[in-house]
Structures are given as C-alpha cells and as structure tokens.
Amino acid sequence: MGMEKVETASEHVSKEQRKTLYRKVLVVVSISQILGGAGLAAGITVGALLAQQMLGTDAYAGLPAALFTLGSAVAAWAVGRLSQRYGRRTGLAAGFAVGGLGSAGVVLAAIFNSVFLLFAALFIYGAGTATNLQARYAGTDLADRKQRATAVSITMVMTTFGAVAGPNLVSVMGNAALSIGIPALAGPFLLSGAAFLLAGLFLFVMLRPDPLTMAKKLAVQEEVLTRDGAVAAAVNKRGLAVGAVVMVLTQMVMVAIMTMTPVHMGHHGHGLREIGMVIGFHIGAMYLPSLVTGVLVDKFGRTAMSIASGVTLLLAGLVAALAPDDSVVLLIVALSLLGLGWNFGLISGTAQIIDSTTPFTRAKTQGTLDVFVALAGASGGALSGMVVAHAGYAALSIGGGLLSLVLLPVVIWSRR
C-alpha cells in the first residue's frame, strides 16, 4: 500500500540528477536555517529573564526553557509524522508557522503581563525550535552514507548566521519594542515571529521536489524493498539507541547550563549587552563548527566524535563553575565549549540515526527520537533553576559536566 505511492510513479533518477537535487535541497534548507536560527535565539536569550521579571523569583526562571522545549517535543513528534506522510515540505512549513504564532503570543503576554499566556505561548513557540532541528534531516534525505554527517553540518552551519545575529539584536529589538509601547524583553520575540513565519513560507514554496518523497522513489529504484513489497528490516536498533542517548544527554547538559547563565550574569551586574554577547558566542559555537564536525564524523566515525562530545561538555562545566562572577571572558569560553560539545553530540548522534533507518520509516523515527531529545532539554531547563536556587550556578555547571561522562560507557558498549 505504502509502496503504491512511490512505485511506478517514480521515473528513473540518475546519479547526476540525484546530486543536483541533493545540492538544491541543501541550498533551500540552509536559507531556511538562517531564518530559523534567528527565531530560536530569542527564547534562549531572554525567555528566562522575562519569566524572572514577571514572576519576581529565580526559582522558576528555568521554566521558559522547559516549556518551549516541552512544546518542541510535541512538535517534533507531529512534524515527524506529517513529514513521513506528506513530505518534508509540509511538515517543516507547518512547524515553523506554529512557532511564529507562539512568538506572537509571548509578545501579547508581556503586553498584558499575563503569566498564564506567557507559559502557553512559550509552549507553542517550541514548535519553531523543533522544526529548525528537524530541518537538518531534510538535507540528508538524498545524501549517500559518506555524506550524511557533512550534509547535517552544512545546514546547521547556516543556522549560525541567524542564531548569532539574534542575541546581538536583543538591545536593538528591546529599544524598538519600547518605542511602540511593548516591554523591552518582548522585543526579540517580534524578530522571532517574523523569522519563523518567513522560514516556513520559504520552505513551502521552494522545497520542490520533496527530498523525502524522492528518497523513497530512489529506495524502490535501488531495491531496498523485498519482493513482496514489505520494507526491508534494515533498522539497526543498537545504532538508534546509541544515537538517541548521545543526543539526549548532550541536550540535557547544554540546556541546563545555558538556561541559567543569563540569570547568573544578571545577578552579578551584567547587562543585556554582555548577556547577549555570551549567548551569541554560545550559539555560534553550537552551529559554526558544524562544517568541520560533519567532515570529522564522516572521516573518523560516529564513536570518536561522541566521546569528544562528552569530554568537551565536561570542560565546559568546569570552566563555568570556576569562572569569577565578573569575568565575561571566561563565561564566553565556558559557553563556547558548551556549544561545541553539543555540536559534536548532535551531529554524531544524528548520523547514527540516519545510518540506522530507511526512507520508509526515517521521518517518523527521527521525530520520535527528537521527542526524547526535547524532553531531556525540558528536564534540564526545569531543574536548572531549582538547582541554582538551592546549590548555586557552580554546582549546576559541575553536575552537568559530570553527567556528560555517561556518554563514554554507552559509546564503548556500542563498539562491542
């Protein structure tokens, strides 16, 4: 039945045609990632500060990250299934549109000083974050095995342009918001809403032919199906498990430390400009090294780069914990290492998952696994505020760094 949709309707696709389509998809997805990166940066930079301002306490300052990450979990599941059924184009466009609506809701919540509306809107805003991450898979649909990690990295490195610009526009957007009667901390969400909506519209118009649909046609052409039409059992369960654990742990550690850094800096006299600079370096380190990371993952293997991820996250936690409260430079170093460790883990884990699936189950499997990644981030965000309130920022940083070492035995198990 599923075969009928891709069967003889598929024309023969040559290797040259596949290469051309692969390059086109990478360009389209990369442009959407620039816009999506600008959108996700707003919530990361000022979400915790907005909640702190409206609630009047630090204990729940981690809730915004938890909420938009929880929202991204639901969205990852939905986008994965929409993409599996209707193609990447429909799934990604819908996810970005919902994220844009969530950004608008945050602005309204700030205007009316409604905490309930703020939390509901942040949950919906999470759809944009999930979709931006799901888009990395679209670039791999037409890649061969030796290009997969590199394809992920190309789309992610393009996110850098928007993601680094976003935090550094915090002050500008804050002033722009004040000029039209909107609270300053809601200003970045104006940028976020416009960026998400534009990303979704661009993908909907330009992502033709759909890469996942073409991958299914190529799979039939290359006889991935068995004689009776059932999908071949080519799913490597161990690869899925290891890829998921790597991404889950790196996401949890990264979100926990990242969420409370702006609050920690605010307590020690740093303004929005310094906070925006630190988060800008952090997001740059999350995405900018991607081009090199992808090549390294394809060349040296998924295992080696997963181990590098755990070690780098441990260093990030130690530097953050030991940095003097007034040292912006050391916080930049710590958050840059945090972003780099996350980058290593996400790309190596993503490559494992792509290696372990077929086009006929890939999108929904990716969506399901991204749910666990998002829930890990939600847990890290929710617990981070409570840990800092009771034990301090240094304890959170050291604890996160030590947690990342769990990656080592998992990766060693995968090699057995």
- Whether 369 contacts 352, CB under 8 Å: no
Q: 92-96, 261-265, 324-328 — which one is most confidently predicted on average? A: 92-96
**Is the pLDDT assigned to residue 334 strictly greater than 90?**
yes
Query: What is the rounded average pLDDT for all residues in the chain?
Result: 84
Residues 6 or more apart whose CB falls under 8 angstroms from that of 171 comprise 272, 273, 276
Span 284-299, pLDDT tens digits: 898 888 879 999 998 8
Span 248-277, pLDDT tens digits: 999 999 989 998 888 888 887 787 788 888
User: Span 50-66, mean pLDDT?
Assistant: 73
pLDDT of amino acid 314: 94
**Length in residues, the chain:** 416
Q: Where are the domains of the chain?
A: 15-223+236-414
- Whether 203 contacts 100, CB under 8 Å: no
Round to whole Å and give the CA distance between 365 and 320: 35
**Is the pLDDT assigned to residue 372 strictly greater than 80?**
yes
Percent of the chain predicted with pLDDT > 90: 31
User: Span 91-98, mean pLDDT?
Assistant: 96
3-state secondary structure the chain: CHHHHCCCCCCCCCHHHHHHHHHHHHHHHHHHHHHHHHHHHHHHHHHHHHHHHHHCCCCCCCHHHHHHHHHHHHHHHHHHHHHHHHCHHHHHHHHHHHHHHHHHHHHHHHHHCCHHHHHHHHHHHHHHHHHHHHHHHHCCCCCCHHHHHHHHHHHHHHHHHHHHHHHHCHHHHHHHHHHCCCCHHHHHHHHHHHHHHHHHHHHHHHCCCCHHHHHHHHHHHCCCECCCCCECCCCCHHHHHHHHHHHHHHHHHHHHHHHHHHHHHHHCCCCHHHHHHHHHHHHHHHHCCHHHHHHHHHHHCHHHHHHHHHHHHHHHHHHHHHCCCCCHHHHHHHHHHHHHHHHHHHHHHHHHHHHCCCCCCHHHHHHHHHHHHHHHHHHHHHHHHHHHHHHCHHHHHHHHHHHHHHHHHHHHHHCC
Lowest mean pLDDT among 37-41, 234-238, 243-247, 364-368: 234-238
pTM of full prediction above 0.75? yes
Is domain 15-223+236-414 in CATH 1.20.1250.20, yes or no? yes
Between residues 337 and 50, the one the model is more confident about: 337
User: Span 145-160, mean pLDDT?
Assistant: 83
Span 175-232, pLDDT tens digits: 888 888 888 888 888 888 999 999 999 999 999 899 998 888 887 776 554 444 444 4
